[in-house]
Chains A and B, each alone.
Chain A
């Protein structure tokens, strides 16, 4: 039953390392070096001065949702309920109605996304057969002081434009 045993050499057992203080002083020299350089010149800190300097969002980054439209301005969504069925957070609430612009038979009359419930997993985008819902708005910070504005309606979702060109968005394989 004896398996292959590989004896690892234990580090830190010789006197030099067991004195401990020398290694501590070495570590403290490292931190002091960082402290002094940053104290004398604080322009090279690894920080982004956030509200003023916005981060770069890539095309595949899952931001706030939007509903896409055809070139003539009619919405692509056909109210198939695929996104609502797929949503693990159950944050999409669709009400289907008859289509009035003559594209197909159905369209949503109500399309609500509760952003407080949403976990930004992107499953709705994956599920959509019509490429009607996308998360390419580049909006990563959704804030508010009450609950109501967090439930996005159809108009708001349609009104937001994508932050990227069509080629850029497709490049990721979407």
Chain B
């Protein structure tokens, strides 16, 4: 192993481990501010450090401090303390590990060596996810059972029944997508989606498999226990369901696990159906071949976006009531200065790239960076869809949930397999 190998190994593992963790903060923030804006409220906007509120992100720090310093109670009636403590760990770690097989950029070729850009460079791909996704719910069932209370047990039971009924349509939807791509490797799937249909439509999974995409997204919502499928939590009838007996950071683990699971399944939906790391119409080879043009375009577009963003900050980051010497305007000015500093730094990097980086390696690293950014932007959008659906739809009733799973999604996904297979065979 050369030093480059080790460096890339560390970078990839760090990416797969820390990016989902960072996205907890982003998702919680998005959930709160999104819920606020959807309901015409403002969401958390007061917590600050020296007057810097970072649009409400500082609230997450306050929450973390609260959850960590709270008393960690294990109720006296609990007999199996080990399982009680193990349950949140399972939920969190399984959600984190399932991200390891999702590619966040195309295979990086540096001096003839191929580096698969995944946390664990395996070609198990979708099988890895399928194996682990079902396991995540074990944590919820275990939490419900070891809580030794009726609400907890009911929550756990609901989670178990729900996973059984939604894992099947999900698996069948994956079968039809496997038939289309002809591979179980997620990197190869994403590469497949870089091609163009009829020469101008990006060949994303959602265009080849619209029905499969809908079924998979619905099942993924159920799998992550998000509204409208969060019956396991059901605070109106089960108080808090499986985590009713948990407090402090043990509850925090469930909370973070939910958001990591949301990130992971967003990443998977993106990889399977929305082109993964692919930038539409710019496949990896195109990016590498036209790297100078691409970096020039970036240099032009970056200040434009920064200008829009700065305008948005100065318009919205101010007090909406009469106030002398508004500190929020001062805050906004500092943000705008930081923004322009970042833009100048990025422009410098791009200039250096334009002057010196004519070689293949630099172009490939630039392409990989762009693909990582694309991937993260797409995942953020998908996480927003999760938030958006949560604050739009009410919760399903239990029988409606089962009916949707067994009587509608299951036949539809079977039909989808037949139709897809017939078309694939007819075309080949």
Please list the residues of chain A having a beta carbon within 8 angstroms of any beta carbon in chain B.
21, 24, 27-28, 30-32, 34-35, 38-43, 45-47, 49, 52-53
Contacts and interface: CB of A to CB of B under 8 A. Distances in A.
B198 interface: no
A31 to B, nearest CB: 5
Given A35-B388, A40-B312, A45 B38 contact: no
A38 B321 CA distance: 17
B169 to A, nearest CB: 15
Contact of B321 (A35, A41, A53): A53
Contact of A27 (B214, B315, B323, B393): B393
27 contacts: A21-B214, A24-B392, A28-B389, A31-B38, A31-B388, A31-B392, A34-B37, A34-B38, A34-B40, A35-B37, A35-B38, A38-B36, A41-B315, A42-B37, A42-B320, A45-B36, A45-B40, A45-B41, A45-B42, A46-B40, A46-B41, A47-B41, A49-B319, A49-B320, A49-B321, A52-B319, A52-B321
A52 B323 CA distance: 9
B391 interface: yes
Contacts of A21: 214
Contacts of A41: 315-316
B241 interface: no
Nearest 4 Cβ contacts at the A-B interface: A38-B37, A31-B392, A46-B40, A31-B38
Interface in B304-332: 312, 315-316, 319-321, 323
B37 A47 contact: no
Given A40-B312, A43-B320, A49-B321, A31 B391 contact: yes
A39 B387 CA distance: 15
Contacts, number: 53
B103 interface: no
A95 B41 CA distance: 49
A24 B323 contact: no
Contacts of A53: 321
Contacts of B39: 34
Contacts of A38: 36-38, 40
Contacts of B393: 24, 27
A53 B322 CA distance: 9
B309 to A, nearest CB: 12
Contacts of B315: 41
Given A43-B320, A49-B321, A35 B34 contact: yes
Contacts of A39: 37
Contacts of B34: 35
Given A34-B38, A34-B40, A35-B37, A28 B319 contact: no
A32 B40 CA distance: 11
Nearest to B37: A38
Contacts of B214: 21
A43 B315 CA distance: 9
Nearest to A38: B37
Given A24-B393, A52-B321, A52-B323, A47 B388 contact: no
Nearest to A21: B214
Interface in B1-56: 34, 36-42
Interface in B102-150: none
A42 B38 contact: no
Nearest to B391: A31
A47 B42 contact: yes
A45 B320 CA distance: 10
A53 B320 CA distance: 10
Contacts of A45: 36, 40-42, 320
A121 B34 CA distance: 38
B98 to A, nearest CB: 27
Contact of A42 (B42, B321, B388, B389): B42
A13 to B, nearest CB: 15
A30 to B, nearest CB: 8
A116 B232 CA distance: 38
